[in-house]
């Protein structure tokens, strides 16, 4: 899979997750965390949805090559999201059906973006 395709896939996943959080935050909360969101949780989930939608749209590759900013942003997001979702799953407080799959997916995407992200940091620091 090319870096551009990887960025497109990751961008699409984040945009779809963001749109889902905006439209049906209660369902996403139930599937991901296995809990009902209180009123304030719904508001925060929607704001997070705005951010994810913006990340997905902003990182969407328009040309033949993914931008270094998109690669780095998606690498950092996927790494942190994957580790945090894994932390929540290991803690045992949350147990949604999508918690482990979400963690694993984000970690895999981060690992796949590791080399391209490293290369963007390395070549731009010269």
- Calculate what percentage of the chain has a pLDDT beyond 90: 84
Give the model's pLDDT for residue 96: 94
For range 68-91, the mean pLDDT: 96
pLDDT band at 123; cut points 50, 70, 90: confident
User: pLDDT, tens digit, for every residue of 35-59?
Assistant: 999 999 999 999 999 999 999 999 9
Q: What is the pLDDT of residue 126?
A: 60
Task: Give the list of residues 6+ apart from residue 61 with CB closer than 8 angstroms, or none.
Answer: 4, 7, 8, 11, 67, 70
Tokens of 100: 């482990």
Residue 92 is classified by DSSP as S
Q: Structurally, how many domains does the chain consist of?
A: 1
Domain that holds residue 117: 3-124
Q: Read out DSSP for 8-67?
A: HHHHHHHHHHHHHHHH-HHHHHHHHHSSPPPHHHHHHHHHHHHHHHHHHHHH---SSS--
Q: What pTM was computed for the model?
A: 0.91
Nearest alpha-carbon partner for 48 in 6, 81, 10, 96: 81
Q: pLDDT tens digit string along 101-121?
A: 999 999 999 999 999 999 987
- Residue 62 CB coordination number (10 Å): 8
Instruction: Report, as an integer, the average pLDDT of 1-27.
Output: 95
Phi-psi sector, 34: left (phi>0), alpha (psi -120 to 50), beta: left
- Residue position matching structure tokens 């942190």: 80
């Amino acid at each position: 899979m090319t870096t551009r395709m990887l960025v497109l896939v990751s961008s699409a996943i984040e945009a779809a997750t963001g749109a889902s959080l905006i439209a049906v935050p209660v369902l996403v909360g139930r599937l991901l965390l296995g809990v009902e969101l209180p009123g304030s949780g719904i508001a925060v989930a929607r704001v997070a949805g705005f951010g994810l939608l913006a990340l997905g749209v902003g990182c969407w590759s328009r040309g033949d090559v993914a931008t270094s900013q998109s690669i780095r942003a998606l690498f950092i997001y996927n790494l942190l999201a994957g580790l945090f979702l894994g932390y929540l799953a290991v803690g045992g407080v949350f147990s949604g059906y999508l918690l482990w799959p979400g963690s694993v997916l984000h970690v895999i995407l981060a690992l796949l973006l590791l080399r391209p992200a490293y290369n963007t940091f390395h070549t731009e620091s010269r």
